[in-house]
Amino acid sequence: MNFKEEIIKYENTNYDRPYIVKIGLVPVILTVPYDIKQIKSDGKIKMLESFIKSIVQYTANNTNASFLIKTKVDANLEEKENFKDILLYLIKKNNIKLLIDIHVSLKEKNFDIEISNNLSLDYTMIEELKDIFEEENMVLFKGKVLTKSIYDNIDVIQIEINQKYIGYNDMENIQKICNALVKFINRYTN
């Protein structure tokens, strides 16, 4: 199966459970907390973050990382959802050292990829991630420091990918994103 076929297979797979979990062998977990339509507090519907679950599954499967993908429940709704509880459990049980949380940004943003992190991550690792994305010719924006962290004892990176790079006609860019993430995780774990 070639790259495009694999990505489309992941993207078109419908899941009958609220979460997809894979336990990997390296201490890294990738998360997709919003692979669903979201209803915001003002009643507006936020875009579906297309191809993020595919990027995460491809990356995890090519690095032996873990992943947690939400497929059914909207975390912004008041109803009970336990994504964070599941994530904490997976972090503790599997001795996870790095959480990479992946989202989509609006096309109008002035960057291709935005990277935000908590203060525990070594500055050289952020620079290395930045360099890897730049090797793939992607314009990076160093975002804010994350103030809200799910677990204090691990490194956290939030990556926002501009929507203009994600779609059925953007396989080359999706592959660049996957290549960069695979390269970064391999360097982080070696």
Query: Domain total for the chain?
Result: 1
The pLDDT of residue 147: 43
Question: What is the residue type of 125?
Answer: M
Rounded Cα–Cα distance for residues 113 and 140 (Å):
5
Other Cβ atoms within 10 Å of 183 Cβ, number: 18
pLDDT in tens, the chain (190 residues): 899 999 999 988 887 888 899 999 999 999 988 755 444 456 554 455 678 999 999 999 999 999 999 887 655 554 456 888 899 999 999 999 999 999 888 888 888 888 887 766 677 888 888 889 888 888 777 665 554 555 667 888 889 898 888 888 889 999 999 999 999 999 999 8
The pTM for the full model equals 0.86
Complete DSSP assignment for 87-146: HHHHHHHTT--EEEEEEEE-TTSS-SEEEEE-TTS-HHHHHHHHHHHHHTT--EEEEEEP
- Domain span at 96: 3-189
Tokens describing residue 63 = 């690095």
Determine contact, residues 68/100, Cβ cutoff 8 Å: no
CATH of the domain at 74: 3.40.630.40
- 110's CB contacts (< 8 A; 6+ apart) are 141
Neighbours of 154 (CB within 10 A): 20
Q: Which of 32, 167, 30 is nearest to 103 (CA)?
A: 32
The DSSP call for residue 72 is S
